[in-house]
Amino acid sequence: MLVTGGCSVAVLIVTGLLICLLLADLVVIGRLLVPRICDYFEKAPEFHVVPGFPVANAETVSFRTSDGLKLRGSVLNADVCNPPGLVVYMPELKGNHWMASRYCDALIRKGYVVFAFDFRSQGESDAAENYSPIHWMTEYEMLDVGAAMEFIESHPKLSTLPILTFGVSRGGVAALLAGCRYPRVRGVIADSAFGTRTMIRFFADRFVDLFVPRWLYRFLPEWHIARTLRKAVAVSESRRGCRYVHLEDEVSGLESDSVLLISGGADTYVSRSVARRIQSLAGPGSHLWIAPRAKHNMARSVHCNEYDRRVVEHAAACLQSETQARRAAVSGEIATSDNS
């Protein structure tokens, strides 16, 4: 009886300690740690972004989103005859649609039509009330992508062309997500793209000293770290009034051989490990070029010729068969018309 009673007391003591530890953990996480993680999570990096300038002979366009905002953009090579395809360019945070002429220069010279637009609260597009964009992709930006795709479908010339999406940094995330969500997208080029979950874990591992002692972090179980980060993201969504889009949940929908990922070898934001993680998620057929010595979004500035060569070759590989079929159909229609 004494032994049984002693065991019962021991169980109660251990259970009480575990409950106390759990309650203490919830208090520390909920009231202290999570808000600090949110503050860091929402702080956009200070990248030096040089917006583009208006291009002569570009066709300016505007269209509305499903929630009523007017987005503005431009079409380059709008009058080119028999183009090999349509490139939909999506700029980085604080960039603008005119930057398409910089990143897509080689494609423009090859005769591709390039359609670029500014996301909400950026460049020349309308600002959204009660929403200020940061470097993380949200469903608001994907509403803008959806509006752009609807505009393309309604355009008499653009609607007939095979599509390749091309984006930089956050725009690269949008380009990948567009490839996941829209079957008409036959190829994707993403420069300096990242996944929200992959990035927040990378920075948690790198800057954990800002929140807890590193020695303690090493003892935390994986489920505990993952739960804390998920809670921080949820709290951020609540206080910013948005919903983040997680590339990791959708990238499996891509045809992996249609994806070209570009990353800077000296990028301290999207590290090599993050870039390789995105490639592994995109699938074994995806292509990753890590440009030596290039910082974030600077691969073309450092390796212009190599950048342009890879971009042109990837676009041709993704769109060539569909372009040839379309041209053959047009030739057949012309021949039938002439014979009649």
Q: Give the tens place of pLDDT for each residue, 89-112.
A: 999 999 999 999 999 999 999 999
Question: Which residues are registered as beta bridge partners of 291?
Answer: 264
Name the phi and psi angles at 120, rounded to 5: -55, 150
Residue 6 confidence (pLDDT)? 55
CA–CA dist 94, 240 (Å, integer): 18
Alpha helices in the chain (DSSP H): 2-27, 34-42, 100-103, 105-109, 139-154, 170-181, 196-206, 214-219, 222-240, 247-250, 272-282, 299-302, 304-339
* pTM for the model: 0.87
**The residue to which tokens 């090579």 are assigned:** 77
Residue 21 confidence (pLDDT)? 47
Catalogue all structural domains in the chain, each as residue range(s) with its CATH number: 2-43+200-237 (no CATH), 77-191+250-339 (3.40.50.1820)
Q: Give the tens place of pLDDT for each residue, 249-297.
A: 998 878 999 999 999 999 999 999 999 999 999 999 999 999 999 999 9
Residue 249 confidence (pLDDT)? 92
Residue 336 confidence (pLDDT)? 47
**pLDDT < 50 regions, the chain:** 1-3, 17-18, 20-23, 334-337
- Cα distances (Å, whole numbers) of residue 232 to 31, 176, 201: 11, 25, 12
Tokens representing 6? 């002693």
